[in-house]
Amino acid sequence: MSEKILVGVSGGVDSALSALRLRDLGYDVTAAHLLLKDGEDPTDRLRLERLAQHVPMHRLDCRKQFGDRVVQPFLDAYRKGLTPNPCVICNASLKFRVLLELADRLGIEKVATGHYARVLKRGNRWAIARTPSPKDQTYMLCRLPYEWLPRLCFPLSAERDKTGVKNELASRLGGRLAQGDSQGICFLEGGSLERFLEDHIASEERHIGRMVDHDGKDLGPHRGLIFYTEGQRRGLGLSRGPWFVERRDFTNDRLLLSHGTEATVGTISFENAVWQQEVRAGQECLVQYCYRARPVPGRLTDCHDGCGAVKLRKPAGSVSIGQALALYDGTEYILLGGGFIKYME
């Protein structure tokens, strides 16, 4: 009897190909689509319909859970002056949790998704690891609990770029259904983050105030601190640059700007960590402080009760409070776990 596997399919190219590849490998594949928001993309919907002709598919309405567990915490974080990553939150609090619960009800052990990541066994422990692909998404999985890892499968772990994935899916489902790519934050629905925040956060919660330089000179008004992040250069509307955001002062609603070279941080403190592997203070590691950043060398200087700090070997810029912080083994790119940035200096 073929091994059963549940594949989470978003309607995108990657998850569709993952389901088809697993079927070709002889697995008894069942697909599951989680409806997270109103107004599905027409191409995604058609891709799901075509995929359902090849594998049985469950459709779960998760719109309320998505709003409660992902969108609302995202907005609450911005109100507090944080810069959250909703995909990291969603993977741990909703997507994988719901898929594993469905798999349990169906009597299925393994769960697969279209993430660009590796899952492997090192000795007697399972681990998630980075891939060579520039599309690597291991960072997004940094808060999954260890007990889920033995049940996970990522069929695209060996892919180095998207071209081969699209070409293969085109040969299976047709060229039109191989088009498209991830659009970042899914609930923005093609709009800008700024517009979304304007629509959902009242003006009195935006911390509107003044921009100032290091000497306290007033540089003019700003639209609200929630619309800016540390290290930001664009959209400041000032002449005689270059200017960048050094710090947001939520006590006085001031945006502190610096002129010239961007400020850097050498130590990052974090909280609410989820560890997939054993860690210890003094351990050398690789540090990824946002999705677009490459992991950089550092050392875990403190680690206790889900909190800790890492010292970077070289100072880095554009580090934001509230972002997810992922740590990796310094030699094999094994994901150690991740928390949320609390402070940096």
pLDDT digits (tens, 9 = 90+) for 59-78: 999 999 999 999 999 999 99
Same domain for 78 and 12, yes or no, is: yes
Q: Residue 107: what residue type? A: G
d(CA 234, CA 221) in angstroms, rounded, equals: 16
Give the three-state DSSP class for 205.
Answer: helix
Say whether both 79 and 106 belong to one domain. Answer: yes
pLDDT at 233 over 90: no
Full-model pTM: 0.94
Mean of the per-residue pLDDT values for the chain?
94
Of residues 87, 90, 142, 285, which has the active-site annotation?
Answer: 90
Q: Which of 24-33, 67-76, 139-148, 326-335 has the lowest mean pLDDT?
A: 326-335
Q: Span 305-331, mean pLDDT?
A: 94
Task: Considering only residues 170 and 251, tell me which one the structure prediction assigns the higher pLDDT.
Answer: 251
- 62 in catalytic set: no
pLDDT of residue 1: 65
Which candidate in 62, 87, 142, 186 is catalytic? 186
Q: Look up residue 296 and give its DSSP letter.
A: E
Supply the pLDDT for residue 283. Answer: 97
Same domain for 109 and 164, yes or no, is yes
Percent of the chain topping pLDDT 70: 98
What is the pLDDT at residue 256? 95
Q: Is residue 124 part of a domain?
A: no
Tell me, what's the pLDDT at 175?
A: 72
Residue 24 neighbours by CB under 8 Å, 6+ apart: none
Averaged over 15-35, what is the pLDDT? 97
Clarify whether residues 269 and 250 are in a common domain: no
- CATH number of the domain at 340, please: 2.40.30.10
Residue 61's contacts (CB-CB under 8 Å, 6 or more residues apart) are 35
Per-residue pLDDT, averaged over 180-193, amounts to 80
Decide if 90 is catalytic: yes
- 298 pLDDT above the threshold of 90: yes
